[in-house]
Amino acid sequence: MREKRTRMKIALDAGQSFIGNPELCGDLLPRQCPSLPPKKSKGISNYQVLMFSGYFIIGLTIFLVIILLLCKRGKTKEERANLLNKEASFDDSFYKPSFTSGEYKAGLSKSGISAATESGMVSSSLIVLTSPEVNGLKFDDLLKAPAELLGRGKHGTVYKVIGEQGMTLAVKRIKDWTIPSNDFKQRMRRLDQVKHPNVLPPVAFYCSKQEKLLVYEYQENGSLFRLLQGTQMGQVFDWSSRLSVAATITNALAFMHQELREDGIAHGNLKSSNILLNKNMEPCVSEYGLMMVDNDDQSSLSNFGANSAFKADIYGIGVILLELLTGKVGQNNGLDLAEWVLSVVREEWTGEVFDKSLIREGAREEGLVYLLQIAVKCVNTSSPEARPSMNQLARVINTIKEEEERSIAVSIVSEP
């Protein structure tokens, strides 16, 4: 009891000692202290966690989408490059030998066996056309000659063959053409009757139920396809030369169309790789009539019957004209190039279409635009019937060429 009193006395004495300090507060003082505010949590709230998680997911999604788009774009470029390389490996087949091929001899041996069964003698299986250069050529000569694989393509394989007399030939083995043998022979003989100096004719052919062979004179100066590729690496292919090529091949095709229209024989596979350059560097149309028209990418032609093959040739020459104007090589049967040119023209950026080297050399804009307008009409896929005929096309291009020559002559005369 005494101890409790002592504690109380001490507490009262302590309280008395704080008198005169009105701001002080506590249990022993008249002024009570206010209650302390609750301590703020230093952690992250659930709302903040959800918000940051949402931002992370959105950012990750955008990143993945960008990666996928880049991968797809890279794959598309790789596919196009592969397509171009595949086309190039076959398209320069008439002048780019690669290696000696036992496959060629094996294939011809089989052909000779089947031919011998059909005709009774191997030497008569090869039909030589009216070409004095290969007079007396026999199937056995091709079988014994050294051969080099030049390229493979959608329609067959091409070999370079060197004959005993030193003559170099190109032999094409055709695949997947179901034309009857008699029709094929009649077709080859008809083509042999229609000759033009700028159309490369077959000099001989072989035909059996198993396969078909075409023999051509080998052209060592390559193709228009390769020449256009060379312009991308700095080689010179000026405007007047390009116009001359365009005029020459359209004149040749106009002649062939006129002579063979009733027979229904068009080129059927017209592209820059089938425009070869002879020893004088003049363009020659090769493989004329060797294939039926391929309508896989021109389904709108199916309603034109026999005329569809000639309309397809106009499309093919249109793509070649676009290649001459742009310096670019058409892919996917020229559809990619045609669509790109049409999109640029629609945006009224026509000047962006032309090969920069033509602009630098000072080619007349009027001639470039005029030829471009004609080429666009040729690649019209929405209304194939609106495409010009090969005769009309040849006349227009000859007119452009003559105007360019007059312009050059005037500029030379006017020079001091």
The average pLDDT across 192-196 equals: 94
The CA-atom distances, in angstroms, between 320 and each of 125, 240, 330 are 37, 16, 8
Average pLDDT, the chain: 77
The average pLDDT across 311-315 equals: 94
Q: How would residue 89 be classed by pLDDT, with cut points 50, 70 and 90? A: very low
The average pLDDT across 82-105 equals: 47
Same-domain check for residues 364 and 403: yes
Tokens standing for residue 184: 């094929």
Give the end of a domain, one of 187, 220, 253.
Answer: 220
Cα atoms in the 13 Å half-sphere on the side-chain side of 48: 4
Per the domain annotation, does 330 fall within a domain? yes
Same-domain check for residues 238 and 365: yes
The average pLDDT across 265-285 equals: 93
pLDDT value at position 379? 92
Same-domain check for residues 398 and 300: yes
pLDDT value at position 15? 54
Per the domain annotation, does 194 fall within a domain? yes
Same-domain check for residues 261 and 408: yes
Query: Which residues are CB-neighbours of 80 under 8 A, at least 6 positions away?
Result: 331, 336
Q: Which of 132-141, 147-156, 262-271, 273-282 has the lowest mean pLDDT?
A: 132-141
Structural domain of 367: 221-416
Q: How would residue 133 be classed by pLDDT, with cut points 50, 70 and 90? A: low
pLDDT value at position 103? 58
pLDDT tens profile 53-69: 878 888 888 988 888 88
Contact status, residue 272 vs residue 225, Cβ threshold 8 Å: yes
pLDDT tens profile 229-262: 876 556 678 999 999 999 999 999 999 999 999 9
Cα 93 to Cα 223: distance, rounded to the nearest angstrom = 9
Whether the model clears a pTM of 0.75, i.e. scores above it, the answer is no
Give the end of a domain, one of 166, 191, 220.
Answer: 220
Number of domains within the chain: 2
pLDDT at 85 over 50: no
Same-domain check for residues 239 and 357: yes
Cα 12 to Cα 115: distance, rounded to the nearest angstrom = 136
Domain with 291 in it: what CATH number? Answer: 1.10.510.10
Tokens standing for residue 50: 């959800």
pLDDT tens profile 332-372: 777 788 888 888 887 777 788 899 889 888 888 899 999 99
pLDDT at 281 over 80: yes
Q: Which of 85-99, 200-214, 281-295 has the lowest mean pLDDT?
A: 85-99
Residue of 137, 202, 197, 203 whose CA lies nearest to 164: 137
Which carries the bigger pLDDT value, residue 158 or residue 27?
A: 158
Return the bridge partners of 215, or none: 171, 204
The average pLDDT across 214-220 equals: 90
The average pLDDT across 169-194 equals: 88
Per the domain annotation, does 350 fall within a domain? yes
pLDDT at 387 over 90: yes
Per the domain annotation, does 341 fall within a domain? yes
The average pLDDT across 312-331 equals: 92
- Name the residue type at position 55: Y
Domain with 100 in it: what CATH number? Answer: 3.30.200.20
209 is in an annotated binding site: no
pLDDT at 37 over 90: no
Same-domain check for residues 276 and 409: yes
pLDDT tens profile 138-173: 777 777 888 888 878 777 888 998 877 778 899 998
The average pLDDT across 190-216 equals: 89
Per the domain annotation, does 299 fall within a domain? yes
pLDDT value at position 230? 79
Percent of the chain residues past pLDDT 90, beyond the cut = 28
